[in-house]
Amino acid sequence: MKKIIYLTILICGLVGITGYIPNLAEASGSYIAKVYTDSLNVRSEPSSESSIVGSLKKGETVTVSKEEYGWLRIKSDRVSGWAAGQYMKKVDGKVVTATATDQDGSVQKSSAATRATVLADTLRIRDGAGLNYDILGYLTKGEAVTIIDNRKGWVQIQTPDEQVGWVSDRYIEKGASQTAAVSSGKSKGLKGRVIVIDPGHGGDDPGAIGTKYETMENEINLSTSFYLEDELRSRGARVLMTRTKEEEKPELSDRVRISESSDADAFVSIHYNSSEKKTSGILTFYYSETKDRPLARAIENRLADGIGLKSNGISFGNLHVLRENDTVSTLVELGFLSNAKDESIVRRSGYQKKAAKAIANGLEDYFSR
């Protein structure tokens, strides 16, 4: 029935417009990003095969108006076009630099003697010395910071990329990083970790639909998630699923709540992708540079290790389940259902098992750092 199929595609399109899948539609609103590589090519199209129209230097800021397949449409005062998202980082409006807060004297004071290392898996940076202050960002275990000041159980710190804020002094240790990792509560690896798996879409939202076999994204998100659940359980992790049935469709905020209320160690959202262009392969998304990027990196390293489809790397993604989530989180798009070749690969259980194993290995790597 053609009519019904058309309608479901339309619903999937609407999901894209709300910003959940940035590669399907324009991201809502533009933002400022900074370049984090020595030289970054700017291209005419969101593809490494398109022509180079200019380049950006490290530290340059640009306005990002659109995201597609891990590429960002950028505009600087010199050049505009498309650049690879993994080499840029969104500039947080709330970030304050050290020069804005420090007098000459306190900069001097905060130099060599007051280095410290983060002990907690995830440590919130707040804009004041108390739990009631806004969260500015996150630190992860083993990161080094500089202590600037302290006040009743809180210390003011500066990160290597010059973010300044306050953290609870219970979760940092003065001194070098080697000794710190050992003294934190949890053991290394997956044993005892709480992992939330989020099979994307469900219910009346099928997600992407395959062009050749009409493979439904919500169904293979779920089957891949079950393989991942088995992998993680066999390695001693405690697994929570945001849905376990095809007809279930939890709200995005409910999916986040499951992870936050269970005090989970990690949140992994499973998806398959769709595009109007002839695009192929895997994409791994993060939102927070400090909180989420290390997990995305660890998982992508394993997904890139020959599971049957090429990996397109990691990318910033302004996605609800990542953006609104206090848990370390990532979202993987494990292939394009809009690409007949990708579709014929990803619909096989062998591929889904390999992907699940790679994600589990990535999580294990992440928790063994």
Which residues in this chain contact Zn ion in the complex, by CB under 5 A? 200, 207, 271
How far the first Cα of the chain sits from its last, in Å, is 52
Residue 271 CB, shortest distance to Zn ion, in Å, is: 4
Tell me which residue has its CB nearest to Zn ion: 271
Compute the distance between CA of residue 181 and CA of residue 279 in angstroms, rounded to an integer.
41
Nearer to Zn ion, 271 or 293 (CB): 271
Nearer to Zn ion, 156 or 273 (CB): 273
Residue 290 CB, shortest distance to Zn ion, in Å, is: 26
Compute the distance between CA of residue 63 and CA of residue 53 in angstroms, rounded to an integer.
17
Nearer to Zn ion, 137 or 206 (CB): 206
Q: Are 83 and 72 a contacting pair, CB within 8 Å?
A: yes
Distances (CA, A) of 237 to 192, 258, 270, 284: 5, 16, 18, 22
Compute the distance between CA of residue 65 and CA of residue 57 in angstroms, rounded to an integer.
19
Residue 333 CB, shortest distance to Zn ion, in Å, is: 7
- Tell me the sheet residues that pair with 273: 336
Nearer to Zn ion, 271 or 320 (CB): 271
- Tell me the sheet residues that pair with 90: 33
Compute the distance between CA of residue 228 and CA of residue 200 in angstroms, rounded to an integer.
14
Residue with tokens 């005892």: 192
Residue 283 CB, shortest distance to Zn ion, in Å, is: 11
- Tell me the sheet residues that pair with 14: none
Residue 205 CB, shortest distance to Zn ion, in Å, is: 9
Residue 17 CB, shortest distance to Zn ion, in Å, is: 14
- Torsions phi, psi for 88 (to 5 deg): -125, 155
Nearer to Zn ion, 206 or 294 (CB): 206
Residue 330 CB, shortest distance to Zn ion, in Å, is: 14
Nearer to Zn ion, 198 or 292 (CB): 198
Question: Three-class SS of residue 59?
Answer: coil
Nearer to Zn ion, 165 or 317 (CB): 317
Smallest CA-to-CA distance from 144 within 165, 166, 121, 173 is with 173
Q: Which residues contact 182 (CB under 8 A, 6 or more apart)?
A: none
